[in-house]
Amino acid sequence: MTKKIKTENGEMKEPLEDTDIDVKVEDPNARGEWGSKAEFVLSCIGLSVGLGNVWRFPYLAYENGGAAFVIAYIILQILIGKPMYMMELIVSQYCGRGPTAMWAMNPSAKGIGISQVLISLIVAIYYNVIMAYTVYYFFGSMQKTLPWTKCKDEWAVDGCVEKTTHKLETCTGNVTLDMVGKCLCSPTNYTFNEGLSVNCTNTSNTAVSELYFYKTVIQKAPNMYPSDMGAPIWQLALCLLLSWVVVVACLIKGIKSSGKVVYFTATFPYVILIILLIRGCLLDGAIDGVKYFIVPEWEKLASLDVWAAAAGQMFFSLSVSFGGIIMYGSFNKFRNNAYGDALLISTMDLVTSIIAGFVIFTTFGGMAKQIGVDVKDVAKGGYGLAFVAYPEALSNLPPPQLWSILFFFMLFTLGLDSEFALLETALTCIQDEFPRLRKYKTHMCIGFGVVLYLIALPCITPGGDYVVTLMDFFGADYSVLFVATCESIAIMWVYGIDRFMQDCTYMLGHEPRPKYFWGFCWFFCAPLLIGALFLYRMIKFKSPEITKDVPYPEFGQGIGFALTALVLIPIPLMFLYKFFNAKGSVMERLRKITTPDETWGPNDGSMKDPKTEGFNMSKKYGVDNPAVDANGEGYMHM
């Protein structure tokens, strides 16, 4: 009798002739698993540790009370961040399914998974545009003279200066004060200007690094009307193409290829951060920058704005509810210690943010001391930090080309890991819904790369910066908060925290410890605090701005709200679709669509083919399954 061999999806097949019986046959339809524990952990770290840790966290801390902000951040990470991260990891590992298929646990909530896919695709589009900026600067760093250190003649009218200087204030009419340096003319009172005893100027001093980014790199248009958009900038189009080629090449075989790449992309940034930290600490004036970063302003802990800023940063830094954590967790082995992984990865995210803060502000302190200004004159956030302030700071470190190359290559690798997860989330969900497509994962990856590249072209036009801001603000910021609220309610309140705890106990062999703390965070803190944050952000809604105090035009805000609706509409639509397709009274329908379907169960093989087990597996959970037990002890249904 011919022996059979087991394929990756659990099926038994005849071995090929002249094939050794121990050879593992790879099924093209198999879902696959991580090659090693290290690949999973590094991929998750790469997803959570991204560009925001370097350019957003340090400036938010500086702007919101230094150490007071960090304390608020830590508290919220403990109450919301770690619990949500662990919840997503445990659920996905338990069922072995991605963000859409996992909702067999609560069919009415499947729209949440679809919304997460849409958010991931939107973020993948504009995130790669930002990575294209880093590619542009990476190659620009190889020139003999760094292009962001020399003023062009046409920038003279913009007050171009090659070193950041004190920000000019409007002239006061006081001879003593105005004689200290140049001052700005009054924009409205011309009689006042004529009576001044000093010559005023109509142009404020603008650092060459700022003009280089806005006038050469992105060529920013004055407004976002269609007539201002222009054609794609060819240099950025090539950089964006290169970025997408790298992403697609690394994801060509899914996690089997990206899992190998992260050994470099997830660890290299730490090497560069440590090098930059050591170099920054050796600068004269470094301690001045550190004071701005960590000296606490305790009174700011009483401000809701500080807590909202900390919650927003914590939420998006960990990438909770984007679908990436669920996707990565679904490829884990069933008995993997997801509990320990969640704590490790979320802690690494916090540690990286703090290290990045010291890297940035030691360098800013040295730069401020060298050119004779305050740290607040050189500190910027977001784009301004990554592509304006820090490049100028690095230009003061010999040899500037080396430090610039290392910094921008580090930014690219930081973004690369996050981009892997964003794209793979969409691919995994499609393949979970249509398993036959798994054999075409290479074609799908290339196809998605081409389509998303074409969709991103408006983001690299002169008006593209407004498009990127719109996609980030309306397509991801508010949307993901609403999705997270619905997700935590659908799992902890509808599926039930008792069921969740039982599933966790079955998979890990023990309850999450301490049980009551995690239960409190999952059942109360996560849904209520995230929901409160969403409402607070809506009440305090403020449109993105074209320039200071000039909001986006109404048509731009309209497009933004339409994008938000597109992302969130699957949640109510899927609920209504399930409801109206169910049979019975209203309560019977609600009970039906919120009860786990017959495919729901643990991903340990016991639910793969219920007919072969000899008992009815309908509506069974891990703790109810009499065919399996945990730690050698049978579990009784509680």
Q: Residues marked as binding for Na(+)?
A: 46, 49, 53, 317, 414, 417-418
**Burial label, 636 (beta-carbon count in 10 A; 0-12, 13-18, 19+):** exposed
Give the Cα separation of 551 and 553 in Å (integer): 6
247, 444 in Cβ contact below 8 A?
no
- The token duo for 120 is 């991931």
How many CB atoms sit inside 10 A of residue 396's CB? 16
Q: Which residues of 377-393 are buried (b: 16+ CB within 10 A; e: fewer)?
A: bbbbbbbbbbbbbbbbb
Give the Cα separation of 366 and 383 in Å (integer): 21
CA atoms within 13 A on the CB side of 316: 23
Q: Which residue intervals of 142-182 are DSSP H helices? A: 175-178
- The token duo for 428 is 């995994």
Amino acid letter at 55? W
Could you tell me where the beta strands, DSSP code E, fall in 143-250?
Answer: 160-161, 206-207
The angle at the Cα of 255, spanning 253 to 259, to the nearest 5 degrees, equals 115
Give the Cα separation of 451 and 417 in Å (integer): 20
Write the CB contacts of 168 (distance below 8 Å, at least 6 apart in sequence): 181, 182, 183, 184, 201, 204, 205
- The token duo for 145 is 């003279």
For every residue of 334-392, DSSP letters joined together read: TT--HHHHHHHHHHHHHHHHHHHHHHHHHHHHHHHHHHT--HHHH---THIIIIIIHHH
- The token duo for 414 is 């930081």
Residues tagged in the binding site annotation: 46, 49, 53, 317, 414, 417-418
Amino acid letter at 213? F
* φ, ψ dihedrals at 6, nearest 5°: -95, 130
Give the Cα separation of 615 and 66 in Å (integer): 60
**Burial label, 131 (beta-carbon count in 10 A; 0-12, 13-18, 19+):** buried
